[in-house]
Amino acid sequence: MPGARRFSPSRLHNPRIPPFDRRVATGPSAAAMLLLRRHLLPFLRAAVPLPSPLYHLPRPLATSPAPFSLEEFLVDACGLAPALARKTANKAFDESSKLTKKAFEDLSRSRLKSASNPRAVLALLSGVGLSRADIAAVVAADPLLLRASAKNIEPRLLDLRDRLGLSAPQIVCFLLVGSRHLRSCDVVPRLEFFISFYGSFEKLIVVMKRCSCILQSNLERVVKPKIAFLRQCSLSVRDIAQLCSVRPRVLIYSLEHVKELVLRAEELGVPRSSQRFWRAVSVVAIGKECVAARLIYLKSTFGCYKSQVATAVSKMPSILGIPEESLHPKIMFLINEVGLTPQYIVERPVLFTLSLEKRMVPRHNVIKVLHEKGLLNSNMSFCTLAKLGEEAFKLRFIDCRKDSLPGLADFYAAACAGVVPSRI
C-alpha cells in the first residue's frame, strides 16, 4: 500500500511501538490488519515470553545417579577379580534370559537397578557366618542370588543355621550347589527330610552334585510315594537310600516308571528278596536299550550262551552299568595277559568291577616278578588275589619280602601310579 509502513509481528509485542500508523487507521486494509492482529496476538505472546531478569540466569544442570554396574559391584563389594567379575556378570544375564522375560526384567530393572538389594543379600550371607572369600565363591557360582528378595531368603538362611544346625562351612557347601533352590522356595523342610533320609548332610551334598533338582520336588506328592512303593518291594530304607544315591532321579520319576524299573530288574534274574535287588533297579534305570546292548556285547565277546551271561548278571547286576570302553580292555587283559578263559571270567563277574590300572595290572606284575625270582609260594587264584584289600595284599606279597627283594615295594608303587616299572 503506498505510503504505509511494512507490518512486522514484533511490533505487536512492544507497547512502545504503535501497532499501526494512523495514516492507515481507516479503510478496508486497516480492518483486515486489525482482524489479523486480534487472531495472532495470543499465539505470539504464548510463543515468545516477555523478557525477565531471571530468564537469562544459567539453569542448574539436572543430576542423575550413575547406572548400576553388576560387574563393578562384583569387584568392589564381593572381591572378585575383574576377569571373573566380567564372566560372572555375563553368566547372570545369560541365565536370567533363559528363565523368563520377567526374571530378566527383574535382573536388569528392579532389584539390580541399584546396589541396595545386592548389598542386603551380602549382609545376610555375612550374618550367618560367611567370610568375604566364601561370599565371593557363592556369588560366582550363582550370581542371580543377588537379585533374590532379601526379605524372602533371610528366614531361609537363618533356618539353615538355627533349625538345621549347619555350620558356616556347611552353609557354603550347600549354597555352592543349591543356592538357586534357596531363592526359589522354602528349601529347609526338604533339606531336613533328605538329611535324615540319606544319613548325613555330607551324603546329601554328594547326591545334590548329581541331581540338585530333588530339592524342587514336593515331598508329599512326589518323593514319599516312591519310597513307600519301594518299601513294598522288600527294599529297606537303607537300600532305597543307596539306590537313590546312585540314581537320585528315581525319586522324581513318575510312580508308573518306577514300577516298570522294578519289573525290569526282576527280569534280570534278581529276586526282590536279594540284597542285590537295589543294584538291579539302579542298573535298569540307565535305559532299556542300553541294558540290551550290554547283554549282547557280553554274549558276543565271550562266545557263551545267553543263560551264562544271565547268571553273571544275576550275581553282579552292576556290570551292566559299566561302559563297553571300560569293559573291553579289562576282558582283553584278563584273557591275553593273565591267561584266564572266558568261562572263568564270566563265572567271576566281580573282576569287571575292579580297577584295571590301579589294581589288576600292578598286582599281576608283582606276581610275575615273584614267579620269575622263584619267590612265589602261593597258588592263590587271580580272582582271589585281585579281590584282596590293599593292606592285606601288601602284607602277604610285598612287606614280607623287604629283605629278599628290597625294590619290590617301589616297583609296586610305580605300577599303581601308572608308571611302567623297570625290572627289579
Q: In one letter, which amino acid is 31? A: A
Per-residue pLDDT for 364 more than 80? yes
| Residues 6 or more apart whose Cβ sits within 8 Å of residue 193 | 219, 223
pLDDT for 161 beyond 90? yes
Centre a 10 Å sphere on the Cβ of residue 44 and count the other Cβ atoms it contains: 13
The type of residue at 248 is P
Written as nine digits, the cell of 136 is 565371593
Which one has a higher pLDDT value, 108 or 166?
166
- Count the Cβ atoms, other than its own, within 10 Å of residue 122: 22
Q: In terms of Cα–Cα distance, which of 419, 347, 421, 417 is closest to 382?
A: 347
The whole model's pTM is what?
0.72
At 128-147, the pLDDT tens digits run 999 999 999 999 999 889 88
For the stretch 41-73, pLDDT in tens is 554 454 444 444 433 445 555 455 566 777 787
- Tens of pLDDT, residue by residue over 221-259, are 999 999 999 999 999 999 999 999 999 999 999 999 999
Alpha-carbon distance 325 to 320, whole Å?
A: 12
Instruction: Tell me which DSSP letter residue 164 carries.
Output: S
| Model confidence pLDDT, tens digit, residues 281-339 | 999 999 999 999 999 998 888 887 788 888 999 999 999 999 999 999 999 999 999 99
Per-chain mean pLDDT for the chain = 83
φ/ψ of residue 307, rounded to 5: -65, -35
Q: What is the number of other CB atoms lying within 10 angstroms of the CB of residue 141?
A: 17
Q: What DSSP assignment string belongs to 376-402?
A: ------HHHHHHS-HHHHHHHHTGGGT
